[in-house]
Amino acid sequence: MCDYSLHAVASRPAKVGETLITTTFRGTSTRGFAAEAEPEVAVCLLPGTELAFEDDVKYDHRWIWKKSTGFKVARFRKVELNVSHQHHDAIEFPNGSYVLVTLLSKSQRATVLQLPVNLQEPGTTSRTVEGSSQLSGTIPASAV
């Protein structure tokens, strides 16, 4: 769930609706996401997780300059998995471009909009609706 460089950092999965900040974790040079109340705990995202940033996403470009993407929404994904010893966590923008999470400028705030469809939250169940072909997705248990 989290990049290989964060395996020595405490971590937990993301929750829908929570606000995360981009940060550098102590003892690493890697940036990632954390909850404001738990700045030392990496919040890990699954590929397909959708995020909404408060402002246009900014990232570090050539060590001292920051660049703006022009986008406030992104989807988490993994890139170049066949290349070892490299960061794989990235956020992809609506135009198909992406930025590695470790390059994101610090202290940006993002809200988790949606987790991947294949991940069911506790208290939900899948079912087939009568008269339809296999409806995919989840329906709250209270509606079943």
pLDDT digits (tens, 9 = 90+) for 106-132: 999 999 999 998 755 555 443 334 443
What are 20's strand-pairing partners? 35, 110
The number of residues in the chain equals 144
Strands 58-61 and 65-68: antiparallel
Residue 8 pLDDT > 50, yes or no? yes
Written as six digits, the tokens of 97 are 């471009």
Distance, in Å, from the CA atom of 71 to the CA atom of 49, rounded to the nearest integer, reads 16
* pTM summary value: 0.76
Distance, in Å, from the CA atom of 127 to the CA atom of 90, rounded to the nearest integer, reads 33
pLDDT digits (tens, 9 = 90+) for 50-76: 999 999 999 987 767 888 999 999 999
